[in-house]
């Protein structure tokens, strides 16, 4: 599923980016381009970041 329609970035790509060390929406944008256009996906990216942080905290 696409997280960012403008840049055609999928949720998987965002997860890969986080796995590679991205910790902020800005880092995800710099790596994948997601959020670099209309920015309406930034909230979704933040939610994915938050979820992965929670997983790390729990683990
Ligand atoms: S949907 Fe991501 S920049 Fe527009």
Residues 6+ apart with CB under 8 A from 20: 31
Q: Output the tens digit of pLDDT for each of the chain's 59 residues.
A: 999 999 999 999 999 999 999 999 999 999 999 999 999 999 999 999 999 988 877 65
Task: Supply the CATH number for residue 17's domain.
Answer: 1.10.10.1100
Q: Please give the residue range of the domain that contains residue 8.
A: 2-58
Q: Which of 4, 44, 48 for mutating ligand 1's site (highest number of atoms within 8 Å of CB)?
A: 4
Q: Quick check: CB of 16 below 6 Å from ligand 1?
A: no
3-state SS, residue 10: strand
pLDDT value for 1: 93
How confident is the model at residue 55, as a pLDDT?
A: 83
Nearest residue to 44 via CA among 8, 6, 11, 7: 11
Q: What does the pLDDT read at residue 22?
A: 97
- pLDDT at position 58, please? 66
Q: Is 2 helix (H, G, I), strand (E, B) or coil?
A: strand
Residue nearest atom 4 in ligand 1 by C-alpha distance: 38
């Amino acid at each position: 599923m696409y997280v960012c329609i403008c840049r055609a970035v999928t949720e998987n790509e965002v997860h890969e980016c986080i796995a590679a060390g991205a910790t902020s929406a800005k880092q995800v944008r710099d790596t994948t381009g997601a959020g670099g256009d209309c920015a309406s996906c930034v909230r979704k990216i933040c939610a994915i970041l938050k979820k992965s942080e929670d997983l790390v905290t729990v683990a």
